[in-house]
Amino acid sequence: MRGTLIAASTLLAVLLTGCSPDSPEETGSEEKEPKEPKAAVAQLQNADGDRVGTATLTETENGVDIHLKAMDLESGEHGFHIHETGTCQPPDFQSAGGHFNPEDKAHGKNNPDGSHAGDLPNLEIQSGGTGELKVTAKGTTLGPGDHSLLKKDGTALVIHEDPDDLKTDPAGDAGDRIACGVVKEK
């Protein structure tokens, strides 16, 4: 009888320990591995096929962070935009289409009817031919949907010859396209 009592007590202790509210299954506090943010990259080339920049793109809660490092470009301000098609055929890069604009808005942050999701600040190139820009493309994603920079037809990052005036439709009078890079999942 004593052996049966000890066995029953041991079984009860095991069952109670397994049902303890401290177990991760019961509390939902099981540590989950953090998700890696979605990331993409674009290698920008000029009309001669020379690499003139690299952009890394990372999805955040506020949109897609873009970090562009440019080189071998003329000094001064240059328009910089996300374009609607992931194709960069030199010499004029017209294959990239217009600005990425899933909400059909006007161009430029200074336009009362703007701005496109693809409108970004001007890129400042220093006298040595290099420049760097960190910006968040608000309202964009690297996930699925209409606002995705990795949509079926892709998107491209384009640097223009002149500065963007941030208000004139459709492209801010930024001039010719001098560099282009297709956005690709990393």
33-52 mean pLDDT: 86
At 114-167, the pLDDT tens digits run 788 888 999 999 999 999 999 999 989 999 989 999 999 999 999 999 998 887
pLDDT value at position 105?
86
DSSP 35: P
Measure the CA–CA gap between 11 and 37, rounded to whole angstroms: 46
pLDDT, position 36: 60
Structure tokens at 79: 């328009």
Give yes or no for residue 11 having a pLDDT over 70: no
More confident residue, 106 or 133: 133
Question: Among 23-27, 33-37, 158-162, where is mean pLDDT lowest?
Answer: 23-27
User: Any residues with CB less than 8 A from the CB of 80 and at least 6 apart, and which?
Assistant: 68, 120, 121, 122, 123, 133, 157, 158, 159, 160, 164
Give the residue among 63, 72, 34 at the shortest CA–CA distance from 140: 63
The label of the residue with tokens 């490092």 reads 69
Is the pLDDT higher at 14 or at 117? 117
Query: What is the radius of gyration, based on Cα positions, of the chain?
Result: 26
Task: Give the single-character DSSP code of 4.
Answer: H
CA separation for the pair 90, 11 (Å, rounded): 75
The pTM assigned to this predicted structure is 0.79
Whether 40 shows a pLDDT value over 70: the answer reads: yes
Going by pLDDT thresholds of 50, 70 and 90, the confidence category of residue 28 is very low
Continuous H helices in 1-144: 2-18, 24-27
- Interval 106-121 mean pLDDT: 82
Q: How far is the C-alpha of 44 from the C-alpha of 184, rounded, in Å? A: 12
Q: According to DSSP H, which parts of the chain are helical? A: 2-18, 24-27
Q: What is the pLDDT of residues 48-62, one digit of tens each?
A: 999 999 999 999 999
Q: Where does the pLDDT of residue 96 fall: very low under 50, low under 70, confident under 90, or very high at 90 and above?
A: very high
Average pLDDT of span 158-182: 88
Rounded distance, CA 57 to CA 147, Å?
A: 14
Q: Is pLDDT at 16 greater than 80 in this prediction?
A: no
User: Which residues, 6 or more positions from 185, have their beta carbon under 8 angstroms from its beta carbon?
Assistant: 38, 39, 40, 142, 150
Mean pLDDT of the chain: 83
Domains detected in the chain: 39-185 (2.60.40.200)
Residues catalogued as catalytic: 81, 83, 99, 107, 116, 119, 160, 177
Q: What is the mean pLDDT of residues 69-85?
A: 95
Question: For the chain, how long is the longest CA-to-CA vector?
Answer: 95
Tell me the pLDDT band of 173, cut-offs 50, 70 and 90: confident
